[in-house]
Amino acid sequence: MKIYDREGTPNAARIRIVLAEKGLEDQVEYHSVDLMTAQQKQPAFLAMNPIGKIPVLMLDDGTVLSESTAITEYLDHLDGKPTLTGKTPREKGLIHMMQRRVEMMVLEPIDDYFHYGTPGLGKALRPWRMPDWDGAKEWGQRRGAQAVQNMPYFNDILAKQLFVAGDAFSLADISLWAALAFADAIGLPIASGLTALVAWRSKVSDLPAVKNRSGQHPLPEDIARFGG
């Protein structure tokens, strides 16, 4: 299998955690995509994923999968023993609902904040972003504020249960962990009063598949290289 991604970015981290959790790391060949020069928007990459985003998984028969949730489903079922996407219909429903809530309430607003409220991935990506209208930066900043406003929702959930979708670590936790790592890296930390969320994050960060990973985006040397 081949993975096209950029190490250290939040969505790459999601899949790398899944690969580690499922013991599949040695079966993957990594291809680094240079996001800062917009390699993900060029024809060769768009032929794999017309949305122009990483990560992409290419199977040995040439089949291409994009979207972190779809890739996770595939990897989780390879051994016939899913542990991250649910076994029963109830588990599957809850995990997918909660992981989508994480995306819509935190991860996507943070991504919008990064790309519009800050210099984001820099000049090379501007042609693919919202046209420069006066409110773009303000909109990006509002999206960041929305992400911060939504964090207490997950704090309340985690005050009542061990993990985001119930009693077991799942895709929903991986998505939230990556979203919060991204938020931290761009200056939107979890408020210290959200103690259940802070405790959950520290517990998840200690899991072997998660330990020492980064959801930082982009890498500081990239910003220095290409400017804002």
**Binding-site ranges for ligand GSH (CB under 6 A):** 9-11, 35, 40, 52-55, 67-68, 111, 125, 217
Smallest distance from ligand GSH to CB 136, Å: 15
Task: Indicate if the alpha-carbon torsion angle 3, 221, 178, 44 is positive or negative.
Answer: negative
User: For the chain, how many helices (H) and strands (E)?
Assistant: 9, 4
Considering the complex, state which of residue 40 and residue 150 has its C-beta at the smaller distance from ligand GSH: 40
Smallest distance from ligand GSH to CB 193, Å: 28
Considering the complex, state which of residue 130 and residue 199 has its C-beta at the smaller distance from ligand GSH: 130
Instruction: Please name the residue ranges forming H helices in 113-170.
Output: 136-160
CA end-to-end distance (rounded Å), the chain: 34
Considering the complex, state which of residue 68 and residue 85 has its C-beta at the smaller distance from ligand GSH: 68
Smallest distance from ligand GSH to CB 188, Å: 15
Smallest distance from ligand GSH to CB 196, Å: 26
Smallest distance from ligand GSH to CB 20, Å: 17
Tell me, what DSSP letter sits at residue 190?
A: P
Does residue 127 have a cis bond before it (omega within 30 degrees)?
Answer: no
Owner of token pair 């993900």: 40
Considering the complex, state which of residue 21 and residue 111 has its C-beta at the smaller distance from ligand GSH: 111
Whole-angstrom Cα distance, residue 153 to residue 222? 34
Could you tell me where the beta strands, DSSP code E, fall in the chain? 2-5, 29-32, 56-58, 64-66
Owner of token pair 């994923």: 49
Considering the complex, state which of residue 113 and residue 155 has its C-beta at the smaller distance from ligand GSH: 113
Q: Is residue 174 classed as helix, strand or coil in its secondary structure? A: helix
Considering the complex, state which of residue 140 and residue 155 has its C-beta at the smaller distance from ligand GSH: 140
Whole-angstrom Cα distance, residue 27 to residue 87? 24
Smallest distance from ligand GSH to CB 192, Å: 26
User: H or E element: which one contains 220?
Assistant: helix 220-226
